[in-house]
Amino acid sequence: MQVLSARARSRAWLHRHVFPLALALSYAAIFFWLSWLRHITFHTQAWDLGIFEQSFWNTLSGRIMDNNFEFANHLSVHFSPFLFLLVPWYALWPGPAVLLALQALALGSAVIPLYRLASRWTGKTPAHVICGVYLLYPPLHWLNLFDFHEVAFAIPLLLWAVDLADQDRRRWAAVVLALAAGTAENIVLVAAAVGLFWLLTKRPRWFGATVTAACLAYFLLVANVVMPALGGKIYRLDRYANLGGNAGEILATVLTDPALVATTVTRPEKISYLAGLLVPLAGFSLLAPAALVLAIPGLAMNLLTDYAPQFSGRYQYDAVLIPGLLVAAISGLRLVTKKFPARTLLILLVLGGASLGGFLWWSPLGLRAYPWTQLRTDRRSEIFAQLLEKIPPDASIAAATNLVPHLTHRRGIWMAGSEPRLADIVIVDMWDRTGFAGDEQFRTYLANYLERGYQLQRIAQRILILTPRSP
């Protein structure tokens, strides 16, 4: 009877979630296909698919999370014990495909807790609209199509944690939140914000306070003990040099110099960045200050820095913001529909229109943003594919960034310009000098190999190959 009861519960759960499950699988299939096209046309990069690809490959060989591109164990750069949960899947199918598939599945699956949360807070019809809003959300698409990143897995985990906490399933919420915190050290601060959100909105207050305190304690432990023991340091504080030289100075500036902070966060490019985050949600996130607490850590990370990729809206850095902004949007939608119940349809049309407009304007799949050449074969990708077939399996390689993710299953693979010794084969792209500070450094690099007796071959006026001269 217990087995039958479990089966019945499973069937009932599947029946209730057919809509978000279908959306999740459809999203995962589409974005895995797009990510794979980007990879096989040689547009994925050493930073970051190459990093994770070699880290997983080395882990299977006993070199735990080592890679040649961060010049350190990956856990010393980003403390991500969650990655070990993905190793068994990688072991079944070693290579980039499984990583890209897992990432697409994880991001697609986030629609399920969103649907559950929105159904309780706003009703079934608004929940359907929220699912569409999430799947059309431009920052999600950019994150998904830019290689592979551990923080992508924090998005569904954080949303599940909020959903479970909202149902007073505190133990499961704490477990899922711990998994989210394990994806990366900066996600710990978002997990702390989930506790603060609970503290502000639900009882018992002690649970929210405990979650926040535990997350902050864990963050301090990782920052001051674990990562230094591994030879690393917390986050990239050099990206906040405009505010100070260390964590203490940065915090002091934020607390004592509001004018500088205001100037930093209101630069035109950051206002444009905020528009890309908020307009596709029709600004509803701004109507729910308590829920917006979930986005405060991410907003601080991405708005206080002078490192442009963090506020471009086109990389993995928005993973710290997406869950909070979506939960706040649902909360804002609940407030508006409760105040104007007779205009619910109009409100949903506004939200749907803003989402579609944001998709067309900001998404990589929209009308203007994405270089679609990254998804089709050209002469360059044909040359790279031919070269891969000719490279001996035991040769050490210094390669252009887009070749690296295809060559990570070897000990001797580096980005050209960062190899610790002369490589057996060097392959560089004249039109992509990633890894070199400028033309002078690039010319010096080539001259060093030529002076050591290497011969130069040029293909299609673009690809340079350096190999030792035959005796």
Residue 2 has pLDDT above 60, yes or no: no
Q: Is the dihedral of CA 277, 280, 283, 286 positive or negative?
A: negative
**Mean pLDDT value of segment 66-94:** 93
Higher pLDDT, 28 or 223: 28
Q: Is 106 helix (H, G, I), strand (E, B) or coil?
A: helix
Residue 282 has pLDDT above 80, yes or no: yes
What is the DSSP-derived secondary structure letter of residue 372? G
Q: Kindly report the number of other CB atoms within 10 A of residue 211's CB atom.
A: 26
**Mean pLDDT value of segment 66-86:** 92
Q: Kindly report the number of other CB atoms within 10 A of residue 62's CB atom.
A: 7
* Distance of alpha carbon 154 from alpha carbon 137, whole angstroms: 16
User: Letter for the amino acid at 287?
Assistant: L
In which band, very low, low, confident or very high, does the pLDDT at 235 lie, cut at 50, 70 and 90?
Answer: low
**Mean pLDDT value of segment 438-448:** 92
CA angle (221 as vertex; 158, 190 as ends), nearest 5: 20
- In terms of phi and psi (left: phi > 0; alpha: psi -120 to 50; beta: otherwise), the region of 453 is left
Mean pLDDT of the chain: 92
Residue 248 has pLDDT above 50, yes or no: yes
Report the DSSP pairing between strands 425-429 and 454-459: unpaired
CA angle (36 as vertex; 402, 414 as ends), nearest 5: 25
Exposed/middle/buried for residue 242 (C-beta within 10 Å: 0-12, 13-18, 19+): middle
Residue 358 has pLDDT above 60, yes or no: yes
The predicted-structure confidence for 172-191, as pLDDT tens digits, reads as follows: 999 999 999 999 999 999 99
Q: List the structure tokens of 252.
A: 């002091």
In which band, very low, low, confident or very high, does the pLDDT at 137 lie, cut at 50, 70 and 90?
Answer: very high
Domain borders along the chain are 19-362, 377-468
Those residues with Cβ within 8 angstroms of residue 122's Cβ, 6 or more apart along the chain or in another chain: 130, 330, 333, 334, 337
Exposed/middle/buried for residue 265 (C-beta within 10 Å: 0-12, 13-18, 19+): middle
pTM: 0.94
Cα end-to-end distance, the chain, whole Å:
78
**Mean pLDDT value of segment 309-332:** 96
Those residues with Cβ within 8 angstroms of residue 240's Cβ, 6 or more apart along the chain or in another chain: 250, 304, 305, 306
Q: Kindly report the number of other CB atoms within 10 A of residue 383's CB atom.
A: 18
In which band, very low, low, confident or very high, does the pLDDT at 370 lie, cut at 50, 70 and 90?
Answer: confident
CA angle (157 as vertex; 197, 155 as ends), nearest 5: 85
Do 184 and 154 contact (CB within 8 A), yes or no? Answer: yes
Residue among 321, 307, 302, 289 at smallest CA distance from 138: 321
In our burial notation (b when 16+ CB lie closer than 10 A, e otherwise), range 190-205 reads bbbbbbbbbbebeeee
Residue among 166, 153, 123, 93 at smallest CA distance from 327: 166
